[in-house]
Structure 1
Amino acid sequence: MTITFITGANKGLGRETARRLTELGHTVLIGARDQKRGEEAAAALGARFVPIDVTDDESVAAAAADVLGHEGRIDVLINNAGVHGTAADPADLVGEDALAVFQTNVVGVVRTTNAFLPLLRRSDDPVIVNVSSGMGSLALTHDPERPESKVVVPLYTASKAALTMLTTQYAKGLAGIRVNAADPGYTATDLNGHSGFQTVTEGTDAIVALATEGPGAGTGRFVSREGEVAWS
């Protein structure tokens, strides 16, 4: 039985990923900082709720200890938790704005990955999926035919570019663990006020594909539902 831990899984892409993987036979652990929403999502999906705030060291350590005590390992870690941050004019951005976004979207991934590595290393086929975005791709944000080129959100895009690079570095440095990044595409979620043109099911295609690949699949990739993404 594949055991999968998903951060930010009480709504949006995380919840839909949890739903789909549960249907595929995974034992899914719903990670979320909102206890009420997390418990409701877990009950509805047949999963188990584990409280976690990826911006807090003690919370992440407690979540890893909880999983160690219950399941004893995980096979797949999906770093999905993310924030959009302020929509302020770039000229008005300050350091605290940047810290708030990077604390979740990048530092939170480092914190969670580090805490869960011992659990992943107990798996026969450990996998990490980082939910990034085409908004962090230099190629896509400079292509006038792409929707990513029409938006100016400096902190979110910079954080996702950093996350994709972090993914490639982890893929090189973590022997025996497949580490890939997923680009959901422009999906209707709370993060964008449900303005995206994709459904959450379409938006989770790449995440689910990476989470269900068999042993020997590639590592260090940035993948969308259409295939690999050029991010440089």
Structure 2
Amino acid sequence: MSKIFITGSSDGIGLEAAKRLINLGHEVVLHARDKKKAKELESKFNVKILIGNLNNLEETKSLAEEINKQETFDTIIHNAGVFHEDKETIFTVNVLAPYILTTLIKKPKQLIYIGSNMHPQGSFDIEKLSTIKKVDYSTSKLLILMMSLAVARYWKDICVNTVDPGWVKTKMANYNAPDSLEDGSATQVWLASNDDLGFSGKYFYHLQETIYSKKADDVEIQDKLINIYEELTGIRFPHNN
């Protein structure tokens, strides 16, 4: 069985994935935004819960330190994300926090990033991003896909993939959405339950590899984005570790 850490696993898709992975016998470490959320989880699960507000870069760095105090994880699922927030919060939580955790956490066997079918609508000015630091949700998901593809290029010794969970019935999306929590978590559970996938740099939707916006494939822009994240966080990406 695998050891798995899931960000944003106190509710929604992250919590559903955690429940299913725990039921399959995996060792799952949960993540909560604050002590209140952690206590809610403690009443339901007898598992390790780490706390950190991903809208605070220092707390995100501290969370990475706590994660590294555990035994090395087999899989890390970068599930946490916000939608109904201001654009600066969206950029910090959806883009910078996953970058910080990716760079600072001991490299696992597998990284899974959560994307969105809204990413093709995303757009940004690469020359202004480091000073504006504000993006809408669609753009944040385009940026996280581009980071996933970049990490897959840099770290060829591990599996790095992105999952579009679909339009799922959650408080973040809409409870009238067509997809269930089971639908939205199925691909992450499948990926995390397999040690030897043999593929990386892929994009999945409901257990199937699928197409994504080709503007995410621009390698030059991917590298420039990593440089911007290095500048904004003060953390260099370890290309060769």
What is the letter of the counterpart of residue 209 of structure 2? E
- Gaps spanning 5+ residues in structure 2: where? 122-134, 214-241
> Which residue is 1:165 aligned to?
146
Aligned length: 200
Conserved 8 A contact 1:185-1:203: yes
> Which residue is 1:26 aligned to?
26
Of the candidates 109, 112, 115, which is equivalent to residue 132 of structure 1? 115
TM-score by length of 1: 0.79
Conserved 8 A contact 1:22-1:45: no
Conserved 8 A contact 1:187-1:197: yes
Q: Following the alignment from structure 1 to structure 2, what is the Cα–Cα distance between the partners of residues 163 and 78?
A: 13
* Structure 2 counterparts to residues 144-159 of structure 1, below 5 A: 155-159=136-140
1:156, CA displacement in angstroms? 1.0
Of the candidates 187, 192, 201, which is equivalent to residue 173 of structure 2? 192
Secondary structure of 2:30's aligned partner: strand
1:179, CA displacement in angstroms? 0.7
> Which residue is 1:181 aligned to?
162
Identify if the C-alpha distance between structure 1 residues 79 and 183 changes in structure 2 by more than 3 Å, giving closer, same or farther. same
Conserved 8 A contact 1:9-1:38: no
> Which residue is 1:17 aligned to?
17
TM-score by length of 2: 0.77
Q: Following the alignment from structure 2 to structure 1, what is the Cα–Cα distance between the partners of residues 59 and 28?
A: 19
Conserved 8 A contact 1:22-1:46: no
Secondary structure of 1:29's aligned partner: strand
Q: Does 1:80 find its partner at 2:61? A: no
* Structure 2 counterparts to residues 111-122 of structure 1, below 5 A: 111-116=100-105, 118=106, 120-121=107-108
1:220, CA displacement in angstroms? 0.5
Identify if the C-alpha distance between structure 1 residues 184 and 108 changes in structure 2 by more than 3 Å, giving closer, same or farther. same
